[in-house]
Structure 1
Amino acid sequence: MIAGFIIYRFAPEAEGHGTDAVISAFHQARGVIQGRVPIIKVIASAITIGSGGSAGKEGPIAQIAAGAGSVLASHFKLSDRDRRIMMVTGMSAGIASIFKSPLGGALFGIEVLYKRDFEMGAVVPAIMASVIGYALFVHFTGPDPIFLTCQCAFDDPLELPFYALLGLTCAAIGIFYISLFYSTRDKFFRRLRIPNHLKPAIGGLGVGVLILLFPDASSGILGPGYDALQDALLGNITLSVMIVLIFAKILATSFTVGSGGSGGVFAPSLVIGGMVGGVVGEVSHIFFPNIITNPTCFVLVGMASFFSAVAKVPIASILMISEMTGSYALLVPLMLANVASYAFTERWTIYESQVSTRLRSPAHRKELLVDVLEGIKVKDAMNPHPLSVSPDDKLRKVFDLMEKTGHMGYPVMKDGKLIGMVTMKDLEKVPMEEWDRRPVKDVTTTGLVTTYPDESLEDALHKLVLLDIGRLPVVDRRDPKKLLGIITRSDIARAHVKAMAGDVLASRRKHAVSSSPIYGTRIFEVYIPPHHWMIGKKLADIRLPAGIIIAILREEGIIIPRGDTMIEAGDRLVIFSPEDRVDGIRRYIGL
């Protein structure tokens, strides 16, 4: 309860497992972590873990060290890109130090941001910072590895199928762990109608009940659980206790961190994975004693394989576990089990702020943008069959047509030739009571600015913005009176998104939507996080201020929305708007 009060009173961002908060700040907040967060995280995590909460030091140290990097970058007025690198560098150094894993910590920082990618721009500074942090830490604490192990070795290829089975088992248990963790948080604790600062106390009560039910497993349930894990690595724990610990640790971590307590999920994941490995190793030894001669080796491999499954860090987890135990003897089994668990849990992750690749991260939106407008011709985006009106039609007919179709402008045609355009602005020049008798030719705009089918959309948009008009007639270069179609700003914006999602170019960049202004307009993207007020609402009911949602990006692909399209958590809304209205739209949405 004390930890909950401190968190929710002074820094709500410090709740939960800090690594996910760092990932979110990297992708969604320009790498900005408020200066108060590291301080509150230190205090709240010490209380949570010290009082027996099932959590580890990885999350707090990641957020504390990343926060220090972010604050320093802001103090020295570095760019957003450099601030993000400083944040990742701090996280890597913190992990490398606290777990005595310099190479694993460096790779953890650059790998944990994505499910299937690395933050390559941070590799060199992350390695340098990890080496320095590790050197300083071991100077005061000594170089001994975190865990002691029996003499493990891989010398029989017949063991490999059993390690592959361990990887698949870790994948299955990992999916169960992730599902239960977020179900506990979202369907229980967030629905409790009590003050937020009291919820960690309820979580602590749940951990206490588990201790009463399973006293023999208490060393693994309380705190990080490293005592039980050390016993498993030395073969000093029974099969029944390991089975109990798998599920008790999952529940205890869900209660502790899911309730809003401050702590990491790395240590609990190692304990769960180690117990899964121990169970698979012991059972395999019982049935195949001549092949599996040292079942404790499976504990070490299970630690890495399980964390690979739930955190999407298959490379970093191999190195971290090897460095934490001081042994690279099981490198081949580690590789096999990690790949198996990672491959079968591709879309599942304990870090919900992870994105698939750099292409999905707003942090890399500008550098990965390809200006497809230059490569698309007007003829590929125009409406080739626009409605038209005659110069003798009455203005009332034009207005009725506008109400029916929603289009605010039409070409005026006479004898198959384009003579001008009529828009709502033209109608407004005439009193409404005269619309029934005044003809279109009285308000027709002549001397039109036109575009051609072989012009680029960038050129067409340039004309639209400079003249502050909504549409351009598309005409034949050899015959400017021959109308071939109409192109609007919405047509251009939709073509921009469709092109990125639909062709070979877009297969690599389909989510790289521009956030840069294009001739006074902006095509930008808005991420809808869980629990956002727009979730479950129809697009027509949201009533956005002047701006056009031209696409919704989801995991399954791109959606061109209609008024009855429902907004879902995780949606990325692609919005086309005048540049001076972007801030208003963002404020309305709640960013």
Structure 2
Amino acid sequence: MGITMSARVSRRLSYMYYFEKWLILGTVVGAVVGYFILGFSYLLKLLVSLSSIALGASHEITLAYKDISYVYPYISRKALMPLIILTGVFVSSCIVYRFAKEAEGPGTDAAISAYHLKGARVNAKVPVVKAISSAIAIGTGSSGGVAGPGIQIGSGLASIISKVFNLRFIDRRIMFISGMAAALSTLFRSPIGGALFAVEMLHKRDIESRAFIPAMISSFVAYMATYPIIGLYSILPYPQYNYARLYSPEALLSVAIMSLFIAPFSLAYSKLFHATGAIVDRLRRKMNLPIVFKPIIGALAFCVLALFFPELMGSGYGVVREVYDKISSSKSIGVSFYLMLILLAFLKIVATSLSIGSGASGGVFAPAVFIGSLLGISFGGLVGIKISGVPPTVWMIVGISTFLGATLKTPLAASVMVSEMCGNYMILLPALFGAVIAREITGDVTICISQKVRRVSERNLKVLALYEHLLETSSDLLKSRIIDVVTLHTPMIVGKEDTIGDVVDNLIRTGKSVALIVQGEKILGCIDFSVIELMPFLRRDSPVYALPTRKMPVLRYDETLENVLVLFMSGDYDYMIVRTEDGEYQVVYLEDVMLEVASKVLK
């Protein structure tokens, strides 16, 4: 039987050095994702133009912008806004729930979940469905942005390319991240920030450092591939200022105070976003409506807000630019104006929760930019300028980074991306300072609930790879009882009054690796050979309960192999306890699970 082209390419790639391999793969995914995202942007611009014309804006105005937040001041038929928004959400929802349910909502969480739980595999329909549905929902006025859809589109295309090249598990995960980086770089003209965002957003307190170089390659390729078409421009305004003053003690103190001011809004955004989705879904179930109507319920409430505050429509970049221009050109701005901006920032939280939180297709990044910018300007006008002398327009940029870092748990990426989006790296360190403080204040509360706290260890990556392989090839084996698949070992049983010296001597003499401290039928803790590392600091005649024992899960004898593998991955254990049908305690080692399961698969 001949070897397929895919297999030949996969074999050739497996023999390549790291940089050579990712120079090729990064270039491929960067170009593919970059051009696809460009098409998505043009589709969005087309729908914004059609919606704006329907709402009474002139052709010249509609052709100049690709977000409806730029067009709202020129709208003459505001009474039609609810109809346009609801039609867009309904059509978008029908497409999503008919072809790819994974494309509902912001897209960011779905991509993160696919990375952590699905082996970085995405339904091949998702990129196209997400692009079309998001363009329709955002283009007709829903409160959302393009970052979330871009992340899901980029990761989905990377998943397809991985399948074409038949990439192994580890490389598929790296390719997945590279696709996200390429999408962000194209959308926000931020090649370094896009790569950092892709490797940082998957975890609350860690980064996928292994994927950084490939992400940088794909990000730069996407940026350069699309540059001849869309050129060089800054998404955010560039405040003209002597930035050396932003590094003064007074300014840095103001940044810290601003972080305290912004952090509660970040918490409100994360919690209200998910609470709104749950409430809307309960209402839908109570009314016995099909799931396609879930986003419609949220959109109805959003329409009421949009009638009174049309600034809440779309991503909000147009409003950010309008506020910036007003403050830059005015010598005196009243307190009431800044208070109105704070109100608008909170209403944007509500609007996005009703739109995207209820299931409409769109992102949460752009609304976060809107919220952070208005909060930053308000703080700067009311407090920051009085403490440090730094004008409100500069605080706008720092506020965006602070809010993004706290909400998405990406302080490093947020500060770099915001610096690139306004074309000014002088603001990087104060922006990072504010983002880190706000992230620490908000803790692990995040709008992306699929984020893990930290990376999976190298050992658990192997477990994850085995688990995924079993899902594809031996799903029946996963349903088998652990006691029927893997050899169990009898541990040494000791009492809590036994001495440390006796326990260690008996472990060495019997050749056992684990001792259980048991009192009655209760396991007080586990001791293994890691105890030896503490021996120089302990007395041999000390009771064993003085040791820092490990707490291990106790499994039932009928626990399935699938559940055991999931527990090994989630807890980073190297062994666990099994209670047999007779009530005796046995030990199952991860090493045995890996070897014996692999041997059964090979047979």
- Which of these residues, 275, 291, 294, is aligned with residue 199 of structure 1? 294
TM-aligned CA distance change 1:149 to 1:233, over 3 Å: farther
TM-aligned CA distance change 1:342 to 1:235, over 3 Å: farther
Name the residue aligned to 1:68. Answer: 157
TM-aligned CA distance change 1:366 to 1:553, over 3 Å: closer
Name the residue aligned to 2:126. Answer: 37
TM-aligned CA distance change 1:320 to 1:546, over 3 Å: closer
How much does 1:350 deviate?
1.0
- Structure 1 distance, partners of 2:530, 2:114, is 27
- Which of these residues, 282, 299, 311, is aligned with residue 381 of structure 2? 282
- Structure 2 distance, partners of 1:499, 1:52, is 60
How much does 1:360 deviate?
6.9
Q: Contact 1:305/1:338 (CA < 8 Å) preserved in 2?
A: yes
Name the residue aligned to 2:341. Answer: 242
TM-aligned CA distance change 1:503 to 1:40, over 3 Å: farther
- Structure 1 distance, partners of 2:219, 2:338, is 37
1:304-343 → structure 2 map (5 Å cutoff): 304-343=401-440
TM-aligned CA distance change 1:33 to 1:239, over 3 Å: same
Name the residue aligned to 1:164. Answer: 256
How much does 1:269 deviate?
0.7
The residue matched to 1:270 in structure 2 has which SS?
Answer: helix
Name the residue aligned to 2:320. Answer: 229
1:178-193 → structure 2 map (5 Å cutoff): 178-193=270-285
The residue matched to 2:121 in structure 1 has which SS?
Answer: coil
The residue matched to 2:442 in structure 1 has which SS?
Answer: coil
- Structure 2 distance, partners of 1:501, 1:177, is 44
| RMSD of Structure 2 on Structure 1 (CA) | 4.3
Seq. identity, %: 33
- Which of these residues, 61, 84, 96, is aligned with residue 185 of structure 2? 96
- Structure 2 distance, partners of 1:54, 1:30, is 31
TM-aligned CA distance change 1:187 to 1:136, over 3 Å: same
Q: Contact 1:547/1:577 (CA < 8 Å) preserved in 2?
A: no
Q: Highest Rg: 1 or 2?
A: 1
TM-aligned CA distance change 1:384 to 1:83, over 3 Å: same
The residue matched to 1:454 in structure 2 has which SS?
Answer: helix
Q: Contact 2:280/2:294 (CA < 8 Å) preserved in 1?
A: no
- Structure 1 distance, partners of 2:228, 2:508, is 70
- Structure 1 distance, partners of 2:533, 2:375, is 43
How much does 1:332 deviate?
3.2
- Which of these residues, 104, 107, 112, is aligned with residue 18 of structure 1? 107
- Structure 1 distance, partners of 2:434, 2:138, is 30
Q: Contact 1:150/1:234 (CA < 8 Å) preserved in 2?
A: no
The answer to which of 200-209 and 542-551 deviates more is 542-551
Paired amino acid for 2:260: L
Q: Contact 1:18/1:263 (CA < 8 Å) preserved in 2?
A: yes
- Structure 1 distance, partners of 2:566, 2:108, is 31
Name the residue aligned to 2:361. Answer: 262
- Structure 2 distance, partners of 1:298, 1:500, is 55
1:346-357 → structure 2 map (5 Å cutoff): 346-357=443-454
Name the residue aligned to 1:79. Answer: 168
Deviations 1:297-320 (A, max 9, x none): 111100011000011111111110
Deviations 1:339-391 (A, max 9, x none): 1111112211111111111147997355999xxxxxxxx99941248xxxxxx
- Which of these residues, 506, 509, 514, is aligned with residue 454 of structure 1? 509
- Structure 2 distance, partners of 1:335, 1:355, is 22
TM-aligned CA distance change 1:170 to 1:501, over 3 Å: farther
- Which of these residues, 3, 6, 9, is aligned with residue 98 of structure 2? 9
Deviations 1:241-277 (A, max 9, x none): 3112111100111011111111111101111111111
Name the residue aligned to 1:143. Answer: 232
Q: Contact 2:405/2:438 (CA < 8 Å) preserved in 1?
A: yes
The residue matched to 2:254 in structure 1 has which SS?
Answer: helix
- Structure 2 distance, partners of 1:485, 1:330, is 56
Q: Contact 2:492/2:512 (CA < 8 Å) preserved in 1?
A: no
Q: Contact 1:17/1:257 (CA < 8 Å) preserved in 2?
A: yes
Name the residue aligned to 1:210. Answer: 305
How much does 1:235 deviate?
4.1
- Structure 1 distance, partners of 2:532, 2:143, is 48
| Larger helix proportion of the pair | 2
- Structure 1 distance, partners of 2:568, 2:346, is 36
Name the residue aligned to 2:396. Answer: 299
How much does 1:228 deviate?
1.1
Paired amino acid for 1:208: C
- Structure 2 distance, partners of 1:455, 1:208, is 73
Deviations 1:207-226 (A, max 9, x none): 211122x33xx22x111011
- Structure 1 distance, partners of 2:563, 2:119, is 25
1:114 aligns with 2:203: yes
TM-aligned CA distance change 1:384 to 1:7, over 3 Å: same
How much does 1:92 deviate?
0.2
With CA pairs under 8 Å and 6+ residues apart, which has the higher RCO, 1 or 2?
A: 2
- Normalised to the residue count of structure 2, the TM-score between the two structures is 0.63
The residue matched to 2:371 in structure 1 has which SS?
Answer: helix
Name the residue aligned to 2:35. Answer: none
1:352-501 → structure 2 map (5 Å cutoff): 352-359=449-456, 364=461, 366=463, 381-384=491-494, 454-457=509-512
- Structure 1 distance, partners of 2:402, 2:279, is 28
The residue matched to 1:114 in structure 2 has which SS?
Answer: coil
TM-aligned CA distance change 1:503 to 1:126, over 3 Å: farther
Unaligned runs of 5+ in 1: 370-377, 386-450, 461-473, 475-483, 506-524, 527-538, 564-573, 584-591
| Number of aligned residue pairs | 433
The answer to which of 16-25 and 33-42 deviates more is 16-25
The residue matched to 1:211 in structure 2 has which SS?
Answer: helix
Paired amino acid for 1:228: V
Q: Contact 1:104/1:320 (CA < 8 Å) preserved in 2?
A: yes
